[in-house]
A and B are shown apart, each in its own frame.
Chain A
């Protein structure tokens, strides 16, 4: 456990450093970005350099940056001149809501489809995998637009924008969750079907267990292992997809903040989002490792 923790810290340090280096190597210097499209005179430049301490050597700036991070100070946004921590604090909860709802939607849909279609007739299986294929291959932007025009603009069932209430969460969560349902559904069904062909399944059937009970009590546990491995992948998909979904639906959140920061060259915000993603990733993969132990007794042994 200690080793995992240390590894996690190392990953975060690497993420912070990689983000710092990438932005250092990116074209255009910080002063240019801070000047932006505005007026540009030597006095303005000198003022900016003094204000942000950009005249120090890069190594010193890097160490100062790490030092601030350790103290939990994420710096100040170039664009809005507010504390980055404060900007992110207001945006974490809407994104958490969206990604959790999307993950729940994806997992629930995948589970239902896999349980209903695994080992059943060829037709239902084909139909389900076709639907899964579509949901995986259609870009989330398009899914979002289609959902909006049908359920919001035409039928008026759900509002388009904001994080006003649970009903405003339905469409974004669906748009973000569908691709996950597609992939997970396929993996889960394959796992179930493989488990149902194992010798233990034959034994269980011989004991008189119904097919339903066999799936629920025995096969599901086997099929879950690859799904849990995939959960690491879908954390990334969710965080990435949140950018598009939040902008499209006009929702507050980290994705939308990241988008604004990247296009505006707002380095402190970009770095903070990268770091936060790394933290989430490390946390989730640690939790998943623990989940393996619960699901698969062989790992514990």
Chain B
């Protein structure tokens, strides 16, 4: 295999860069194998973090994010926020055009925001992310005023997300399948969607008129690639094989088992970035025994040697998490590091103190004739990153070190939802990839949070989250989120953070300009990508 590589590389370069010669990289085509098929191509309907890398080929969000996470211009040249945080005034670029030739102006942005208010279009976004939206007004041809009902610290984050992707108002009216999108739902992005074949590929060609890249991009002007094809290869081993044999030039989603092979191959390059959002964590269901007792929650965390488990399952490629907030987020509280976990003696002492003193024939702890059993029920489509194997490793550890019976159930979506409805679970496992972790915390932690499955209710936490959402002051938000983290991780032990999800890109040597979106930590669009030496 190794000896074949140079030959294959030569073949691959010959195959993909046939037009490489005089104009250099100006007219190259690239094939990128990805794991997950998009369930929609309409950015307003977007819901899969794994499909985020496609969105900004075809669409530009209203504003962009810089490497430091700050908000920067894109089609919106500049903006002002009134002192009460209720009115946003955007000045728009006047040289931006949609792929269908229509001009991008204030009326177009208004049409995009108003579209969310159409009943049944995207009720979730309308009621949560845009819940504070009051009125949108095109003051001048390229000046837009947005009024909010209450201050919303996440509003710019929303406009920088795929939901902020600007769609041509004409195609919003004429698209055949508005919610699904497709070549007839167009944006202003650096690539034009040419073809989508379900189960096979999605093909974009360069937008030659593109001249409005965000300041954080690697270059200005049209994209380097004349064409980029994303192939859907859900099987990891097949993606890696297609890359090593030069049939594709880039892949995303590299399993831990293949990392070594790719690193040892000089013809290949690997990049990794931690995702933003929340860590992959176990949330304890505090509404009924045994996790209504904080000592049992702490004991479960102490019973697991997380480092050893991660090493065994991910071969040392995973990053351990210490907080519900991922380490890539600006709101991560690093002072929580090394504050829990891996102390078997403490775990046993805590369980003894909590009254789980007897043992049954299989060695599990028993109290009042009941075994110390906890269940995690997860829906198969959402299990990824070998989290099933991870759960089995944790299961073995808590049994051996503390006599806890951890039952891992991976079921279909309906059964999982039934378990949630019946409260028939003690552990809820989740990670979220929101670019601003506040959006994720607002769903998971407050009393009425849409996915508050731990049942933990704390008015202080609700108050801090509300205040953090309402302010634009990042330092203030950091302080508030640090308090939240301290309470749920340390003081109350509601959360068991395990690892920080990451994305990987592997590519053939010679492919340049690949990278990660500073907002989300997921792979960037193909705008800066080129093939060259």
Contacts and interface: CB of A to CB of B under 8 A. Distances in A.
Contacts of A252: 197-200
A250 interface: yes
A32 interface: yes
Nearest to A141: B235
B382 A37 contact: yes
A41 B449 CA distance: 9
A265 B413 contact: yes
A82 interface: yes
Given A39-B443, A47-B123, A154-B1, A28 B234 contact: no
B198 A40 contact: no
Contact of B238 (A154, A162, A250, A263): A250
A40 B123 CA distance: 10
Contacts of A29: 414, 417
A165 to B, nearest CB: 13
A39 B444 CA distance: 10
A265 B201 CA distance: 23
B345 interface: no
A154 B5 CA distance: 10
B312 interface: no
A12 interface: no
Given A33-B417, A43-B127, A161 B245 contact: no
B334 interface: no
Interface SS majority for chain B: mixed
Contact of A27 (B382, B418, B450): B418
Nearest to B413: A265
B63 interface: no
B416 A148 contact: no
B451 A37 contact: yes
Interface in B339-380: 379-380
Interface in B451-503: 451
Interface stretch (A125-133, A241-249, A285-293): A241-249
A160 B199 contact: no
Nearest to A164: B200
B241 A149 contact: yes
A256 interface: yes
B381 interface: yes
B231 A250 contact: yes
Interface string A30-52: 00110011111101100110010
A43 B412 contact: no
Contacts of A189: none
Interface residues of A, number: 52
B165 to A, nearest CB: 17
Contact of B39 (A40, A91, A94, A264): A264
A152 interface: yes
B414 A32 contact: yes
A253 B245 CA distance: 25
B198 A90 contact: yes
A80 interface: yes
Interface string A62-79: 000000000000000001
Interface in A253-267: 253, 256-257, 260, 263-265
B231 A28 contact: no
A159 interface: yes
Interface in B22-76: 33, 37, 39-40, 45, 47
A142 B516 CA distance: 34
A53 B413 CA distance: 21
A152 B247 contact: yes
A81 interface: yes
Contacts of B247: 152, 159-161
A257 B198 contact: yes
A154 B201 contact: no
A276 interface: no
25 contacts: A27-B418, A29-B417, A37-B379, A37-B451, A39-B124, A40-B451, A81-B177, A81-B179, A81-B180, A153-B241, A153-B244, A154-B245, A159-B247, A160-B233, A161-B238, A163-B200, A250-B233, A250-B235, A252-B199, A256-B198, A260-B37, A263-B381, A263-B412, A264-B381, A265-B413
Interface of A: 26-29, 32-33, 36-41, 43-44, 47-48, 51, 79-83, 87, 90-91, 94, 145, 148-149, 152-154, 156, 159-163, 246-253, 256-257, 260, 263-265
Given A48-B123, A152-B242, A250-B233, 13 more contacts: A26-B414, A27-B412, A27-B418, A37-B379, A39-B127, A81-B40, A87-B198, A148-B238, A160-B241, A161-B242, A247-B234, A251-B199, A265-B413
Interface of B: 1, 4, 8, 11, 33, 37, 39-40, 45, 47, 119-120, 123-124, 127-128, 177, 179-180, 197-201, 231-235, 237-238, 241-242, 244-247, 379-382, 412-418, 421, 443, 450-451
